[in-house]
């Protein structure tokens, strides 16, 4: 299972929110590149970079941060937050994104999202399936849609999607543990899905459990920043799997 630390960006700074609420913003570092380099120094190869300004303004904003991290580390970056147009994608990929994540766009403009899968291929496009009570949420989680989570994922699998990041919003940033039951349910009702668990990771012991369920990766945010999980523990976990 891939270990994917998260860096969320507001005003070019590394922050975390609770349940996607911008009013709960906590700044952890003024310099995201510094954070990314520290991840890399501990053997981490992947990064989940979220442009929270972009999510709010519905177009890419913090691409300079992406560019800087991509140029000065060898991390494979998946980038998301407010990507709505072909131009946004062009900027993201030219700025060094390895993959992009589309969430709201996959709900609100299916044709555009499907065209991205066709144009860039399913190794480059990740479906962001963020859910509250198994209903898909959009627009930086400010809105709940009427779409059911698992049929939504299955529908996009038929379009060729293999990578899905699923965040249970009720868990995100709360450090209360991930949604094991939800991930188990998703994996039991899909096949050949590369499911990336996100939200709620609070202790190191949860990682082997997610791996056992069959998650392809897990995104860890606040647990790292609040020193609940040390980078040394993650380094040892990665080395033990080599």
21 assigned to active site: no
Rounded CA-CA distance 175/82 in Å is: 25
Cα separation, 129 vs 112, in Å, equals 16
For the residues of 135-203, what is the DSSP string, one character each?
A: EEEETTTTEEEEEEHHHHHHHHHHTT--EEEEEETTTTTS-S---HHHHHHHHHT-SS-EEEEES---S
Annotation says 130 is catalytic: yes
- Name the active-site residue from 53, 78, 130, 172: 130
Distance, CA of 43 to CA of 33 (rounded, Å): 16
Q: C-alpha 115: how far from its chain's center?
A: 21
Give the H or E element holding residue 64. Answer: helix 63-72
Q: Catalytic amino acids? A: 8, 130
């Amino acid at each position: 299972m891939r270990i994917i630390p998260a860096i969320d960006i507001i005003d070019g700074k590394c922050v975390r929110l609770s349940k996607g609420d911008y009013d709960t913003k906590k700044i952890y570092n003024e310099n995201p590149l510094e954070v990314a380099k520290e991840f890399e120094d501990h053997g981490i190869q992947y990064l989940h970079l979220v442009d929270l300004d972009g999510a709010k303004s519905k177009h890419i904003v913090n691409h300079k941060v992406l560019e800087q991290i991509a140029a000065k580390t060898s991390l494979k970056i998946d980038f998301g937050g407010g990507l709505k147009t072909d131009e946004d994608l062009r900027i993201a990929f030219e700025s060094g994104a390895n993959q992009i994540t589309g969430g709201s766009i996959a709900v609100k403009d299916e044709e555009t999202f499907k065209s991205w899968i066709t144009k860039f291929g399913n190794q480059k496009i990740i479906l962001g399936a963020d859910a509250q009570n198994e209903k898909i949420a959009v627009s930086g989680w400010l809105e709940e849609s009427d779409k059911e989570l698992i049929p939504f994922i299955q529908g996009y699998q038929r379009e060729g999607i293999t990578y899905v990041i699923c965040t249970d919003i009720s868990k995100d940033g709360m450090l209360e543990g991930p949604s094991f039951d939800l991930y188990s349910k998703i994996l039991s009702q899909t096949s050949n899905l590369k499911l990336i668990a996100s939200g709620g990771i609070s202790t190191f012991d949860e990682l082997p459990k997610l791996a056992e369920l069959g998650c392809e990766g897990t995104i860890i945010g606040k647990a790292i920043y609040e020193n609940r999980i040390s980078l040394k523990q993650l380094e040892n976990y990665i080395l033990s799997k080599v």
